Amino acid sequence: MPEMSMKEREQALHDTGAYYRHTCWMAVPLLCMSAYLYGLRPVVLCMGAFLIGNFCDRLVAFLRRRVYQPSDYSSESFALIIALLLPATVSWYVMAVAVVAGVLIGKEAFGGYGSYPFHPAAVGYVVAAVSWPEQMFRYPLPYTEIPLWDASSVAVTSGISDTLRNGGLPNLDPFSLLLGEFASPMGTGCCLIILACGLFLWRQKDIRLSAAFSFVAACALVAFFFPRQADLVNTPFWENVLPRLNVVKYELLSGAMLFTAVFLLNEPYTCPHRRIGRIAYGALVGLVSMSFRYFGVYTTGACFAILAVNSIAGWLDRAEARLYALDDQFHWIPWLHRGEKGGDAA
């Protein structure tokens, strides 16, 4: 995509800049919970990611001879999202490479603000996941003392996703599960805070619920009808509904699924702008995410799924526009007339 002109950039910042500012602020409660569970290292990591994202923004502005926009918090937002997706024991260089890749490759290589077809935070995470899987998918247990600089000596373990992949089922206290007191990326465990952040972003009209709901519904349906536990697969679902719902609970609360629904799915320039397109987009990301979790190498497949479905997000908008044009001409889909056809509907 071509780089925006200065006038187009200022208009884009006016239209969508609040989303990135609010996302940065919503990282704060998640970071506070992470600091409670893992100490000061998550705070220092996120501060480093924030500064690296800001530096990359200033560097690109200097190299491209354009005025730096202090009101543009998109790079800092992507940097914080990447950092919160990482284990608290991740090496500093892995975090730095992930943020630089997200901002410079995912965002600036395609023209900068609003011109990227793929979610920059997902790009940064995937680069780190493919390059250092031994660090990205092993997590410390909560309340472990983690040194600020070198965490290589800290004991790490696999997450809930690995247990589910092996056909097992975790046995966690519901309260601990809600608070994120289990091995996971440092900002994705506490579902109560994630849901509160999502409610705030929705009230601020920064995110729409259609994509998030269809994403969660698609993941839940796959987990319910196709569980990975052998004793559930070989029996009809109506004979073990409660155990299947228990599996759905663990599938949705692990692998950064809720975090993806709130912080990744509704990015203004990679998510479709029309309602039906957003519903289809969320459902596709959910199906692809579960496919990566079931059949892929990496247990956290949501970012890979985001990048895969980003490639057709624009097509979904265009397909819906053509659908409305045909309906205006032939009136062949009556239910289309009962809702808004624009991109502002929920």
pLDDT, tens digit only, all 346 positions of the chain: 556 666 776 777 778 889 999 999 999 999 999 999 999 999 999 999 999 999 999 999 999 888 888 889 999 999 999 999 999 999 999 999 999 999 999 999 998 888 899 999 999 999 999 999 999 999 999 999 899 999 989 999 998 988 888 888 888 888 898 899 999 999 999 999 999 999 999 999 999 899 999 999 999 999 999 998 878 877 777 788 899 999 999 999 988 999 999 999 999 999 998 889 999 999 999 999 999 999 988 878 899 999 999 999 989 888 888 877 765 666 655 555 544 444 444 5
Are 135 and 119 a contacting pair, CB within 8 Å?
Answer: no
Nearest in space to 50 (alpha carbons), one of 74, 26, 19, 14: 74
Any idea which residue has 């919970």 for tokens? 33
Backbone angles phi, psi at 139, to 5 degrees: -125, 150
List 157's β-bridge partners, or say none: 139
Alpha-carbon span 14 to 97, nearest angstrom = 30
Nearest in space to 89 (alpha carbons), one of 3, 186, 223, 181: 186
Kindly report the pTM of this predicted structure: 0.91
